[in-house]
Structure 1
Amino acid sequence: MIEESARSSVRPEGDVELYDFGRSTTLSREHARILEMSFETFARQWGSQLSARTHGRSHVAVEAVTMQTYDEYGGSLPPATTLVVCALPGSDARAVIQFPAALATAWVVQMVGGRPVDTAEGRPLTHIEQALVGAVMRDAIEHLTRSLDGLLPEGITIAGIQHSSQFTQVAAANEPVIVALLSIRSGGRALGASVMLPASVILRALSSAATGAPETTTPGAIDRQVERTPVELALRLAPRTVRPHEVLDLAVGDLLTLPHSADRPLELMVGDQPFATAAVGTSGARLACVVTATTSFPAQEHP
């Protein structure tokens, strides 16, 4: 009876996960948190950039940030996909931004004025399409560099755009890499994407930051980050106060008068803060506004 109980408490051999102590494939909690926050900032900025570039609403979210080997990362990718290989200045290391080929095709269609389409097409991009996608990715690389705030060197360039994960080898199979798994929602569907960075570069920068000067020596870092964060502008008419029953009684064809005279300029808003006045105009086939006056804000003082 005792032997049977002891045998039942032994964990089956198939459930044992072997750990290779010859290499570390985990991130410390502190480093993982720093990277998660950095990639969340990048996701927000990239989503705004994609919305502006493709003339359609896009949303990018971070699913997970892990450290694994390049072989594990490459094996997790679909055979046919879009891989933007990035060269880091002063180093042989490479970074990769990966997203579905069908998503790249949809971006190209929208950038040239077409309507978003739901396609599973995974063909390689033509030279013209690669140029259009490359312009989008150069902006994304700039956002990524700024979001990681010193963890990546300045001046990262696109070394090429590949279409097969099986034939793209940018690092040794057992080399550790940082992988951020992303979800891109565009055109009513969510597709997976990823960013791969060389762990040697990122961990070295994280270690240097931990042993370097305190953050108080760079008081302008937060201001610079805020200044580079995309914001949405809105043009606002003078608001009108109504009662709830008036809103509930609204029907198609009702006419609402607004307390805004035709010769009065509109307010240019960032969130709920007006910072300028503008008149409505046009630029080609698009509506535009002409700034007529700006609001002066008091200068910010730093300790």
Structure 2
Amino acid sequence: MSQTLTQPAEREVRPYDFRRPTTLAREHSRVLELAFATFARQWGTQLTAKVRVLSQVTCEQVTMHTYDEYAAALPSSTAMVLCSISDVDSRGVIQLPTGAALRWVNAMLGGNRPLPLLDRTFTPIEHALVVGLMNDALEDLQYSLGPLFTNSVRIDAIQYNSQFAQAAPTSELMIVARFAARVGEDVAEATIALPARILLERLVETNPTVEVDNAKQLLHAQLAQVPVEVSARLASANVTPASVLGMAVGDVIRLPHPVSRPIQVAAGGEPVGTAAIGAAGSRLAVVVTTAEDNH
């Protein structure tokens, strides 16, 4: 019988710059997920009203990436709505497939036949209708983010190549929310990218994370509440395998532990003190006689 050996999957290794961490704090991530989930519901309702087809939008993921990483993960041909944001040089992005946008416009204009997958730029009329849809989406986005995003925002342009649309410097950190937009039977993946510095500054103000200056004390306090196994041990005896295999009920095993010697108390297998045998009601117990200083 032959046996097929499978090669282990190759792991992707990415360089990590500790000076520019790209991981959201758990408290901040949760706040953003709730805000973008609210936006997704609002956007779905707005699309239903505008496109006149039952629509549903769900937020699938909220992460933080550099703009270069974000743009590299997008299809080369796509609709990128670039938005100017007051008080910052970097721009926000609403990205969606051009084919999906064209099918939405087709439904808005009364088309009842599904369009084939199209990959072209918008005509002036289509451009105006898409801008109208995106303006409504921006209003819903500002409402959903609330105090986290109070900057004024407006649509600058629509680009069709993700590699040429320079919304921000390549190293700029962006908060990226990914959505699944279902309009009728059509499902499209869309993303929204906003400069992280805008949101993070206000997240710190409204939802401060735990300070790490006293990390050692916090760690000790947390570890002090973790349950550990405590045992009372007599001195062990060495016996032969023959003695173990021939063991029967009633046999006596001699332990090299004097009656007057305290027994050892161990926590998690490590000695922490000594004790004498005692009782607590009807239960066997030990009375601690010495405790080791482990500080």
Is the pair's TM-score, using the shorter chain for normalization, greater than 0.5?
A: yes
Q: What does 1:225-240 align with in structure 2 at a 5 Å threshold? A: none
Q: 1:116, CA displacement in angstroms? A: 5.0
Which amino acid in the other structure matches residue 160 of structure 1?
A
1:148 aligns with 2:141: no
- Paired residue for 2:184, among 178, 182, 187? 187
Give the Cα separation in 2 of the matches to 1:178 and 1:96: 10
User: Is contact 1:118–1:187 with CA below 8 Å preserved after alignment?
Assistant: no
TM-score with structure 2 length normalisation?
0.65
- Between structure 1 and structure 2, the one with the greater Rg is 2
Post-superposition offset of 1:209: 1.8
Structure 1 letter corresponding to 2:196: A
Contact 1:61–1:184, Cα closer than 8 Å, also in 2? yes
**CA contact 2:48–2:54 (8 Å) conserved in 1:** yes
Q: Which residue of 2 aligns with 1:137?
A: 134
Matches within 5 A, 1:81-160: 81-115=78-112, 117-160=114-157
Q: Aligned letter for 1:139? A: D
Look up the SS of the partner of 1:172 in the other structure: coil
Asked whether 1:162 is paired with 2:159, we answer yes
Structure 1 stretches lacking a partner, 5+ long: 1-11, 212-303
Structure 1 residue 98 displacement after superposition: 0.5
How far off its partner does 1:151 sit?
Answer: 1.2
Contact 2:27–2:207 at 8 Å: present in 1 too? no
Please state whether the residue corresponding to 2:61 is helix, strand or coil: strand
CA distance in 2 between counterparts of 1:145 and 1:115 reads 32
Q: 3-state SS of the aligned residue for 1:77?
A: coil
Query: Could you give the per-residue CA deviations for residues 158-193 of structure 1, whole angstroms, max 9, x where no partner exists?
Result: 011111111101111111100001101123132211
Cα distance in structure 1, aligned partners of 2:153 and 2:73: 25
Which residue in the other structure is 1:299 paired with? none
CA distance in 2, matches of 1:21, 1:136: 39
After TM superposition, the score normalised by the length of structure 1 is 0.63
1:258 matched to which residue of 2? none
Distance verdict in 2 for CA 1:21–1:105, change over 3 Å: same
Q: 1:186 to 1:18 in 2, by over 3 A?
A: same
| CA–CA separation in structure 1 for the residues paired with 2:91 and 2:113 | 32
Distance, in Å, in 1 between the alignment partners of 2:167 and 2:12 is 33
Shift of 1:15: 6.4
Q: For residue 32 of structure 1, what is the aligned residue in structure 2? A: 29
SS of structure 1 residue aligned to 2:122: coil
Q: Which of the numbers 47, 51, 58 marks the counterpart of 2:48?
A: 51
Deviation at residue 90 of structure 1 after TM alignment: 2.5
Q: Structure 2 CA distance, aligned partners of 1:208 and 1:201?
A: 11
Deviations 1:90-124 (A, max 9, x none): 32121100111001101111111112514210100
Q: Tell me, what secondary structure is at the counterpart of 1:25?
A: coil
Contact 1:179 1:196 in 2 (8 A): yes
Match of 2:68 among 66, 71, 74: 71
Within a 5 Å distance, the mapping from 1:255-274 to structure 2 comes to none
Q: Distance in 2 between matches of 1:122 and 1:167?
A: 17
Structure 1 stretches of at least 4 aligned residues deviating more than 3 Å after TM superposition: 12-18
CA offsets, 1:9-39, max 9 Å, x none? xxx9956654321211000000000000000
Distance 1:171 1:30, change over 3 A: same
Structure 2 alignment gaps of length 5 or more: 1-8, 209-295
- Retained in 2: the 8 A contact 1:117–1:187? no
Contact 2:78 2:97 in 1 (8 A): yes
Is the alpha carbon distance of 1:106 and 1:15 closer, same or farther for their aligned partners in structure 2, counting shifts above 3 Å?
closer
Change (3 A) 1:52 1:158: same
Fraction of identical pairs, as percent:
44
> SS of 1:74's equivalent?
helix
**SS of the counterpart of 1:150?**
helix
Distance across 1 between alignment mates of 2:15 and 2:120 = 39
Q: CA RMSD in A?
A: 1.9
